[in-house]
Amino acid sequence: MGLEKLTEAIITRKIQPSQAPLHFQYAFYQGMARELIREHAILANFTRSGYENLRQRFAELDKKRLKATRQQIAYQAAQRTIPQGNGTGRVSTFTEKCLIVHELNKKRRHIPIRQLVRRASQALQALKPCFMMSPLSVAQYLVPGQIEFDLLIMDEASQVRPEDALGAIARCQQIVIVGDPKQLPPSQFFERLVNEEDEDTIFDGQESILDIALSTSYQRGRLRWHYRSEHESLIAFSNHHFYNDELVVFPAPQTQAHGVQLNYVENATYFKGRNLKEAEAVAAAVKAHFRNTPHLSLGVATFNSQQQELIAELLDKWREARTSEESAEPFFIKNLENVQGDERDVIFVSSTYGPEPDTGRVFQRFGPISRDMGWRRLNVIFSRAKKRLELFTSMRSSDIQIKKDTKRGVQILKKYLEYAETGYDANNMNDKKANSDFEIAICKILEKEGYQTEPQVGVAGFRIDIGVCHPDKPNEYILGIEYDGANYHSAKSVRDRDRLRQEILERKGWKIHRIWSVDWFKNREGEIERLLQVVQGTPCTPDSRSFASQKCH
């Protein structure tokens, strides 16, 4: 409506004076928008089909480029010249390729690895340019000054002491140090035998090579996309309490086999570092898991070494009788000191501590969790699962008393128990309101047609703009709607925005409908009709996807 028509409508009372400011704003901004579209060819010529074709073409070329890069690297590696070395005279004088071939033809009495590397270092690097080794293996097998690398990538650097890293660093030209300062520092926990009382005095504040790197002016980069957890509730707690909601976590389907589950063990007690009833519950659950879902990998993590040993003892005979199975991810029983770096489809966590046998009250001592770095241990143990984490506990969150001087680890333990009990983190009170008026308008249109919607589905870092709820089943979504708003524009690269985001959502099970604001402005009624056709054509089957982070009521 132009300003002249608006003025006439007000004079003739077709528009009430009280509504005039709203109509004026509409007319003013609509006119401004049309003028901007006319002035900018990229907007004037924009069509949904044309842009979708461009995105698809970009995705195809991007994949081809990545594949070509891999092939180029493999080709260049294959073109390396392998030095022949000496293959005549006494065997003790053989070097390089001649020595390697000679050793390959032997069935026994091979020369030590360190000697092989010393005498055939150039041929070994030409054949295998990438070595994967622990700091100890570097010291054992690589003679100083004999072999050198262009690049060192040091993973899990938060657990590597500077003195252990020095040998590898000295053999390389460049270093990439990868680690998480929110996870375990170097520990002397298993360098001596300890009992429960000693655990409180273990020194866990040692400096790591990661700490040193972070204290320098070296160039830094952050890996924010989180892939391990196939359900957002598995990492939502850590993301909020340790990473300031900065991790990008992708919404995933919710089924009974996913997310965080609580198993409260009645009448269990904690005595001398062990909780027998809780251990028995975990052992029974392990057997049930392999009986019912043997295709899912499993790990058990406990809060101390005594509970780890107890569960292992309870399962000894079962493990001996169990048929040996080849698996890329074998079953393990570990504790919070040595579980970092491990991940499984399902993780059973035994919180171990519980009521004292005599008093029935929980004694406020929680071993290494009560130390300064205790919260790091909890961050590790609560983030090992890919599909499901089951917490076995004989404590309620109310059993843990928080005082002014209570360590952060104990506070985190109480909060996680609350999270497991309720499925809700009281300290992460996001209303998840719509991001824009455009989003609100889409929701209202669908709600007018009888559909219930939820804005901003997911957790911090990655949200789907609108979820359309299943008409018959609570907590399930039949469609995700994305538009070119803040989530789209905030992507760091075209690859993230126009390929990876869409691919990951579809891989997780989402059906995505995309709306482009320019198309909506040019042909609102046509876009509404297209949206309703998609929603009405979406089958409401039992396979529809469900998400814990938002609830359709």
pLDDT tens per residue across span 450-474: 999 999 888 766 889 999 988 877 6
Q: What is the pLDDT of residue 181?
A: 92
Q: Provide the 10 A C-beta neighbour count for residue 278.
A: 28
The span from the CA of 326 to the CA of 333, in Å, is 17
Q: For residue range 512-538, what is the model confidence (pLDDT) as tens digits?
A: 999 999 999 999 999 999 999 999 886
On whether the pTM is more than 0.85, the answer is no
**SS3 at position 387:** strand
Q: Please compute the mean of the pLDDT values over residues 188-215 and round it to a whole number.
A: 62
**According to the 3-state scheme, what is the secondary structure of 59-77?**
HHHHHHHHHHHHHHHHHHH
In whole angstroms, give the CA distance from residue 185 to residue 464: 36
Q: How far apart are the first and last CA of the chain?
A: 39
pLDDT band at 477 (very low <50, low <70, confident <90, very high): confident
Q: Which domains does the chain have, with CATH numbers?
A: 3-44 (no CATH), 91-214 (no CATH), 255-422 (3.40.50.300), 437-546 (3.40.960.10)
Q: Is residue 459 within 8 Å of residue 229, measured between CB atoms?
A: no
Q: Report the phi/psi class of residue 106: left, alpha or beta, with left for phi > 0 and alpha for psi in -120 to 50.
A: beta
The answer to whether the beta carbons of residues 462 and 245 sit under 8 Å apart is: no
- At 265-305, the pLDDT tens digits run 999 999 999 999 999 999 999 999 999 999 999 999 999 99
pLDDT digits (tens, 9 = 90+) for 488-502: 888 888 998 999 988
What is the pLDDT, as a whole number, of residue 211? 92
Give residue 65's pLDDT: 97
